[in-house]
Chain A
Amino acid sequence: MSAEKTRVASLGAYAPRLYVTSETVEEALGQFAASGVERKAVPEADEDTLTMAVEAARRALGAGEFEGSDVSYLAFATTTPPMEEADLTARLASALGAPADVDTRTLTGSTRAGAQALDAAVDARPWEGVGVVVASDAPRGAPDSAVEQAAGAGAAAVVLGDGPGRVEGRGSYVESYPGTRFRPAGEAETDGLDVTNYDRQAFSTALTGAVEDLETDVDAAAVQSPDGKLPYRATGALGVDAGTIAAGSTVEDLGDTGAASTLLGAASARNDGAERVLLAAFGGGAGATALRLDLAGVPAEIALKGDSELSYADYLRRRGEITSGEPEGGGAYVSVPSWQRTTPQRHRLVAGRCPECDALNFPPEGACSDCTARVDYERAELPGTGTVEATTTISQGGAPPEFVEQQARSGPFVAAVVALDGPDGGVASIPTQVLTGGRDVEIGDPVETTIRRIYEQEDVVRYGFKAQLCDAKR
């Protein structure tokens, strides 16, 4: 099948609600090197590129009225995977409810990985159901570096399947430009030699090559944005004006979103009404990938607006720069295999209905918590809505060791019992943290679940659901 027939069904995008402004950073450091960035998104302590990917992908699937079970192809692109090695697509697929035989890909190692993932998905067709391409990133640099001052966070997802949009054209280009943006082996911080003219030359050369065979008469151009200035140096290379680039840009509000940069720009532009969109992704080294999309009529669900401003100290806490990690002495030991056995509950809220008394049980094991009968539960996947039944805020110092680092980074957290609605009536009471967006929690408040990092032990991140106040949902 030709690329031109690849259909775009829906889009989704997500960025953390926390943000820090350029003024705040400038006040703290005495300078701000990321021109054009007014504020940038900052992941919460329990967020990472995998949880952001789930947020974006769920929104994209929802916008197109698809279910996780429809997903037969799933690509995950990031330069900052939560673990350097481990197939994160398995957890992503599980959290989305994709079937086990879903075809998955991980793309990393370059900020053009998001656009590359979309490009590769076109080649990977045909498939049954829909394909989902998610780009999610949260770059990091040395605390006082230009990279860190720009480094933001966000995720965007594209659903490929029956829908109104089309991939109209694609192009790629590589040329060796060592020392442009890179991250050495084993390092967490991205760097660059910062040779201004050399960097600019790499950027425009690669982009020029990638768009060579593409029409660039578009409403918006989503151009790789390591800061808010560089993309505008590509007007000549791409044959678009500055207004077109601005229409496909999120860097002013989200910062440098790495591998998610161009997909986020496209989703944001579509949400603002753009129809023809150019993706122009660049990665240090150097390479570029360009795609021209016709997104007319493509639904998008985006949550990009930050609503919780951080001080510089709180920003450093979220980054873990001034916290000391899990205390010595260990925590409650729930082995990884026993955690794995609860994956259907942690990722997809699989409860059980008692065939004797109809009560919902979560987790669905042991004697019925209502009638005490020992039964084979009927599978009941909870939709994830509910209300708070009992609640407390665990003040600083009151958390068990496995949650000390979360608390050090994020402050007091809400632990509650919530009654989650059953698929056909009834409720299941479940303990969970509640994300509040800074609001007070009252008994009876409505909540919805999402996926977050629960804790990390033995270097393995444990992901699972948390509740979020509906009032705090963006």
Chain B
Amino acid sequence: MRDAYVIGAGQTDFGAMPEESYRSLFEKAYENAVDSVPDGFDGEAVDEAVVGNLGVGGRQLGLPGPAVTEHVGLHGVPCSRVENACAASGYAVRQAVQAVRSGMADVVLAGGVEVMSDMSSDVTKYWLGVSGETEWERLTGTTFAGVYAQMASAYLDRYEDATADHLSMAAVKNHANGAKNPHAHLGFECSMDQAVGAPIVADPLNLYHCCPTSDGASVALVASEDVVGEYTDDPVRVAGVGAASDRVGLFQRDDYTAVEASTRAGEAAYEMAGVGPDELDFAEVHDCFAIAELLAYEDLGFCGRGEAPSLLEEGETDLDGDLPVNASGGLKSKGHPIGATGAGQVAEAFKQLTGQAGERQVEDVTRGLTHNVGGSGGAAVVHVFEREREVAR
């Protein structure tokens, strides 16, 4: 099968931007992605487009894909929208890779867009949690904070060394990183005292254990090995792709202290890439709530079950640690515009692997992972990216 490469990727600022529309956001992300292609890029080359979008607010619930690709002049290009909750554009990237690998397309745009900040708080309440299991789980009065809080309660109950302070440590780390990211929604540092003392949202989760709701867009450009040379001579290869589904409702799953879809997706991606978690230089994981980052460490094999707290205590996932996680600031600090989050992680991986991550650049990187989860674990997608020049093949 043909290899697929990321030849360029970019994102908008993530944040609250009332002056932007979903179209204008997508346009900015597209321009940033085009500008990031080392040897130049023309939209005429795009064979196919896949756009992740949940449709928060309902603004363009049908056909949001063509609405944004036509807006940026990709006239006539077949485009479809992917909806997999918060994993929408992670799956969009996966579909782009599939299209390239299958031979049906040489250049595919994979992106995502969401606008979440321009609604009244009443309407926002409705849209938060629409991807939870609706008939039973949501009708107990939970949005996602509630469901992740239940997972956190089970985790803290199961591992006696784990405490809510470990959740706060993940938040402090991600804010420290996000403060170095000009695109971050909440790009400021926070102290451990602030992170521990924030108001409770859903016990044991406090405000600093929850990501914001953001506006934003992101775009990655994926090319086949047959054409990649036209765009760059230092390409980033999509070494591994894995994805998995699970029951949408937490109560339907076997284990509340793990996200099985993440484990399955990670194993598939590692196997395709022929590497293990020890061979990663950095990772962008889906930390919609702090507990999700801890579970990701364990689901993706960064440590054993119940060992995520000690990984945080020892600073292993800090920017200067053995395996920096969420150098971008993660969903917590960089922000979480649902449909744009997965492709936004890919944009960060591209920047890290091409040495363009500025103050938050992880040193000596050749391989990184992105991990994007939908809902409380009903969908997960993992990618492993490599700087091909640095990897002996």
Contact = CB atoms under 8 A, between A and B. Distances in A.
Interface in B25-44: none
A393 B125 CA distance: 17
A449 B71 CA distance: 54
Interface string A306-339: 0000000000000000000001111110100010
A430 B140 CA distance: 10
A429 B122 contact: no
A417 B203 contact: no
B285 interface: no
A201 interface: no
Q: Which of B120, B141, B143 has the largest count of A CB atoms less than 10 A from its CB?
A: B141
A430 B125 contact: no
Interface string A402-441: 1110110000010111000000000001111100000000
Interface in A44-61: none
A433 B140 contact: yes
Nearest to B247: A369
A12 B153 CA distance: 37
A443 B138 contact: no
B126 A329 contact: yes
Given A416-B150, A417-B250, A431-B136, A443 B141 contact: no
B42 to A, nearest CB: 43
B146 A394 contact: yes
Q: Which of B123, B146, B157, B204 has the largest count of A CB atoms less than 10 A from its CB?
A: B146
B146 A392 contact: yes
Interface of A: 327-332, 334, 338, 342, 363, 369-370, 389-395, 398-404, 406-407, 413, 415-417, 429-433, 442-444, 454-455, 462, 464
Nearest to B120: A329
Interface stretch (B127-135, B169-177, B212-220, B221-229): B127-135
Contacts of B134: 332, 334
B265 interface: no
A431 B126 contact: no
Q: Which of A391, A395, A443, A454 has the largest count of B CB atoms less than 10 A from its CB?
A: A395
A391 B136 contact: no
Interface in B140-160: 140-143, 145-146, 149-154, 157
Contacts of A443: 153-154, 157
A343 to B, nearest CB: 12
A390 B126 contact: no
Q: Which of A332, A390, A407 has the largest count of B CB atoms less than 10 A from its CB?
A: A390
Contact of A363 (B136, B150, B254): B136
A463 to B, nearest CB: 12
B17 interface: no
Contacts of A329: 119-120, 122-123, 125-126
A417 B136 contact: no
A334 B138 CA distance: 10
Contact of B125 (A338, A400, A431, A462): A400
A401 B151 contact: no
28 contacts: A329-B120, A329-B122, A329-B123, A332-B134, A332-B138, A334-B135, A390-B151, A390-B256, A392-B153, A392-B203, A394-B141, A394-B142, A399-B125, A399-B143, A400-B129, A400-B138, A400-B141, A402-B139, A406-B141, A415-B141, A416-B150, A417-B150, A430-B136, A430-B251, A431-B136, A431-B140, A433-B140, A443-B153
A395 B201 contact: yes
B125 A327 contact: yes
B1 to A, nearest CB: 29
Interface string B189-208: 00000000001111111000
B249 interface: yes
Contacts of B126: 329-332, 400-401
A427 to B, nearest CB: 11
B252 interface: yes
Contacts of B120: 328-329
Contacts of A391: 150, 153
A292 to B, nearest CB: 47
A400 B203 contact: no
Given A329-B125, A392-B202, A431-B251, A454 B150 contact: no
Given A332-B130, A395-B200, A454 B139 contact: yes
A442 B256 CA distance: 15
Contacts of A328: 120, 122-123
A91 to B, nearest CB: 17
B125 A415 contact: no
B142 A415 contact: yes
Q: Which of B125, B200, B247 has the largest count of A CB atoms less than 10 A from its CB?
A: B125
Contacts of A444: 157
Contacts of B141: 394, 399-400, 402-403, 406-407, 413, 415, 433
Which are the 3 A-B pairs with shortest beta-carbon distances?
Answer: A392-B149, A329-B123, A327-B122
A338 B136 CA distance: 12
Contacts of A403: 141
B268 to A, nearest CB: 19
Nearest to A464: B139
B139 A390 contact: no
A131 B390 CA distance: 82
A327 B126 CA distance: 10
B137 interface: yes
Given A332-B134, A430-B136, A431-B142, 15 more contacts: A329-B123, A330-B123, A389-B154, A390-B151, A390-B250, A391-B150, A394-B202, A398-B143, A398-B145, A400-B128, A403-B141, A415-B140, A417-B251, A454-B139, A464-B139
Q: Which of B133, B143, B145 has the largest count of A CB atoms less than 10 A from its CB?
A: B143
B208 to A, nearest CB: 14
A391 B120 CA distance: 29
Nearest to A345: B136
B140 to A, nearest CB: 5
B238 to A, nearest CB: 30
A369 to B, nearest CB: 5
Contacts of A342: 135
A317 B251 CA distance: 32
B249 A431 contact: yes
A398 B207 CA distance: 11
Contacts of A430: 136, 251
Contacts of A462: 139
B260 to A, nearest CB: 12
Nearest to A334: B135
A432 B150 contact: no
Interface string B61-83: 00000000000000000000000
Contacts of A432: 140
Contacts of A392: 142, 146, 149-150, 152-153, 202-205
A152 to B, nearest CB: 27
Contacts of A442: 157
Contacts of A402: 139, 141
B250 A338 contact: no
A455 B146 contact: no
B247 A332 contact: no
A218 B272 CA distance: 86
A390 B122 CA distance: 28
Contacts of B247: 369
Q: Which of B126, B137, B140, B202 has the largest count of A CB atoms less than 10 A from its CB?
A: B140
Given A334-B135, A404-B125, A415 B146 contact: yes
